């Protein structure tokens, strides 16, 4: 079993991971803590049983602390600007300026455009586009002053233009992820002179509680799943190093694992 290394790759760094009560966000938060980061676990689900899916912020924080890491939980509804502001404030109050921001939170409605409500579309863009931009704006000034920092956005293959044979229902989700990817590369170019790295990564198909609930894994794709540990390892690689050369990436977990010849650590 792997353990927390207080002198690891992210020793002393302060990291916010949104949507980290379960799934990919949980894995990223734990992997960062294993490398010595002070992690702020953020989501809407504070305790087990508050959501129809398993997972809660308290569970993730407990896992990290049990292994000897540092973490706190800050509830944040990414669709609410005041919650986003409170997330950054509580992080700074507890640990200091933010070194790493991971925009992972998402809300997804899979419906054809003909049936898609304006309310749902606006919520998806608020959580997956406007929210990441707002959080980035709030942490950038401090990063610029210190000449370092990392922002990592979590995307999806849904951002890629689908073939005509593709099943419907994912259009708005794909729109959000495409916007997030363009935001990433634009911001990366803006802040590259400031020593800040900005990247976006897609996981492939990971058997998270949400993916299982939406029945997105079937016999045709079961053999192409990405272990969540691989995604966590790839996300670790994209928040340390030289941002002059490791920035503006639109990439995938499998590609980062191969490029850097990474071996996924077992999560504590």
| 247: CATH | 3.40.50.720
What are φ and ψ of residue 17, in 5° steps?
A: -125, 110
Secondary structure class of 50 (helix, strand, coil): coil
Rounded Cα distance between 179 and 189, Å, is 16
Nearest partner of 144 among 105, 182, 210, 191, judged by Cα: 191
Q: Which of 43-52, 96-105, 166-175, 217-226 has the lowest mean pLDDT?
A: 217-226
Q: Which of 60-64, 91-95, 167-171, 245-249 has the lowest mean pLDDT?
A: 167-171
pLDDT, tens only, 123-157: 999 999 999 999 999 999 999 999 999 999 999 99
173 a catalytic residue: yes
Whether residue 1 is contained in a domain is answered as no
5 domain residue, yes or no: no
Confidence of residue 212 (pLDDT cuts 50, 70, 90): low
Q: How many domains does the chain have?
A: 1
For residue 54, name the pLDDT band (cuts at 50, 70, 90). Answer: confident
pLDDT at 197 over 90: yes
Q: Which of 32, 173, 213, 260 is catalytic?
A: 173
Q: pLDDT tens across 234-268, in order? A: 999 999 999 999 999 999 999 999 999 999 999 99
- Whether 265 maps to a domain, the answer reads no
Residue 7 maps to a domain:
no
Residue 197's H or E segment, with its range, is strand 196-202
3 state DSSP class of 234: helix
The 10s digit of each residue's pLDDT in 79-100 is: 999 999 999 999 999 999 999 9
Full domain range(s) for residue 54: 14-259
Helix (H, G, I), strand (E, B) or coil at 202: strand
pTM for the complete prediction?
0.93
C-alpha to C-alpha distance for 262 and 268, rounded to whole angstroms: 18
Q: What share of the chain in percent tops pLDDT 70?
A: 92
84 in a domain, yes or no? yes
**Domain for residue 31, yes or no?**
yes
| Helix H or strand E encompassing 103 | strand 100-103
Q: Quick one: pLDDT band at residue 213, thresholds 50, 70, 90?
A: very low
Q: Which pLDDT does position 50 carry in this prediction?
A: 77
Residue 8 falls inside a structural domain = no
β-partners of residue 103 are 153
In a domain, 266, yes or no: no
Task: State the pLDDT confidence band at 1, using cuts at 50, 70 and 90.
Answer: very low
Residue 218's pLDDT is what?
59
Q: How many other C-beta atoms are found inside a 10 Å radius of the C-beta of residue 122?
A: 12
């Amino acid at each position: 079993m792997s353990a927390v290394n207080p002198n690891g790759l992210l020793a002393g760094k302060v990291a916010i991971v949104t949507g980290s009560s379960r799934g990919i966000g949980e894995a990223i938060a734990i992997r960062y803590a294993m490398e010595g980061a002070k992690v702020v676990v953020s989501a809407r689900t504070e305790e087990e049983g508050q959501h129809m899916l398993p997972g809660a912020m308290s569970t993730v924080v407990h896992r990290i602390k049990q292994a000897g890491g540092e973490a706190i939980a800050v509830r944040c509804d990414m669709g609410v600007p005041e919650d986003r502001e409170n997330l950054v404030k509580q992080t700074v109050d507890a640990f200091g300026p933010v070194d790493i921001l991971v925009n992972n939170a998402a809300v997804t409605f899979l419906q054809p455009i003909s049936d898609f409500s304006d309310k749902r579309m606006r919520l998806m863009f608020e959580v997956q586009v406007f929210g990441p931009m707002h959080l980035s704006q709030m942490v950038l000034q401090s990063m610029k002053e210190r000449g370092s920092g990392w922002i990592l956005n979590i995307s999806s293959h849904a951002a890629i233009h689908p073939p005509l044979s593709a099943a419907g229902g994912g259009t708005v989700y794909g729109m959000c992820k495409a916007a997030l990817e363009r935001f990433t590369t634009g911001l990366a170019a803006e802040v590259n002179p400031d020593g800040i790295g900005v990247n976006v990564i897609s996981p492939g198909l990971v058997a998270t509680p949400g993916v299982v609930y939406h029945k997105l894994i079937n016999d045709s794709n079961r053999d192409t799943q990405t272990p969540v540990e691989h995604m966590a390892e790839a996300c670790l690689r994209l928040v340390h190093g030289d941002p002059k050369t490791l920035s503006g990436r639109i990439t995938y977990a499998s590609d980062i694992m191969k490029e850097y010849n990474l071996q996924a650590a077992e999560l504590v």
